[in-house]
Amino acid sequence: MKAILLREIQSFFGSLIGYLVIAVFLLLNGLFLWVFKGDFNILDNSFADLTSFFTLAPWVLIFLIPAVTMRSFSDEKKQGTLELLLTKPLSVWQIVGGKFLGAFLLIIIALLPTLIYVYVIYDLINPPTIIDSGSIVGSYFGLLFLIAGYTAVGVFTSILTENQIVAFILAIFLSFLLYFGIEGLASLFGNNGFIASLGMDYHYRSISRGVLDTRDVIYFLSVAILFLSLTVFKLKSLKN
């Protein structure tokens, strides 16, 4: 798995992909949070907090992560190197895990510079003690779990087709369905709590309150494991 992981990271930063992903993520968030006038602009809000960032980030990532993962297996299939990869002394789970972790770590690297927003918020608040640190830490944990879910979905869609654009669109659709679509479905049934709990947004907002509930952790881990398992199943069928 380590070999696949290093290969993926080297591939990302050996081209413009890695740098472009980081730049686009930071640029979009920076423009909406600090430059563009609107509901997301922190300077225009009455309260100096990062609620705007944690509300905006899932929507930016829903497009950005599929752009990273669309090439995971699609490119291997198109270039004809997937068969060669399967002959390596690696299990199918190690191959899928390496692809997943490579994309996951790239997005984490893109997320790290946003920690400067926390410093800026502390600098804006007077006195700084009134900032809700628990909520900020919880929201960052929520983003980590959300990124894991999105990445697993993206890796799965990339194994379905050799066309990267198709993989990209499928990943956006499934991620949107899991994040927002299920909540919309729940509202059709009178805000049914059980249906709503099947969506990512429900558990993301729960973690963002600053309380790390095991049910939320289990949910995101289950989503990631489910789509990685589907990827492994599909890859095994191609191998056979």
- pLDDT above 90 covers a percentage of the chain that reads 41
Q: Coil, helix or strand for 87? A: coil
Confidence at 11, pLDDT banded by 50, 70, 90: confident
Angle 17-30/51-69 helices, nearest 10 degrees?
160
Instruction: For Cα atoms 57, 65, 167, give the angle at the middle one, nearest 5 degrees.
Output: 140
pLDDT digits (tens, 9 = 90+) for 49-75: 788 889 999 999 999 999 999 988 988
Give me the mean pLDDT over the 206-226 stretch. 90
Residue 161 has what DSSP assignment?
A: -
Task: Please state whether the peptide bond connecting residue 128 to the residue before it is cis, i.e. omega within 30 degrees of 0.
Answer: no
Confidence at 158, pLDDT banded by 50, 70, 90: very high
- pLDDT above 70 covers a percentage of the chain that reads 94
pLDDT digits (tens, 9 = 90+) for 12-56: 888 888 888 889 899 998 888 888 887 778 777 766 678 888 999
Confidence at 6, pLDDT banded by 50, 70, 90: confident
What's the pLDDT score for residue 196?
A: 83
Mean pLDDT of the chain: 86
What own/partner pairs with CB < 8 Å and gap ≥ 24 does 80-85 have? 82/238
151 vs 211: which has the higher pLDDT:
151
- Contact yes or no for 82/76 (Cβ under 8 A): yes
222 vs 44: which has the higher pLDDT:
222
Encoded tokens for 210: 């600053």
pTM for this prediction = 0.91
pLDDT digits (tens, 9 = 90+) for 108-148: 999 999 988 888 877 766 655 566 677 888 889 999 999 99
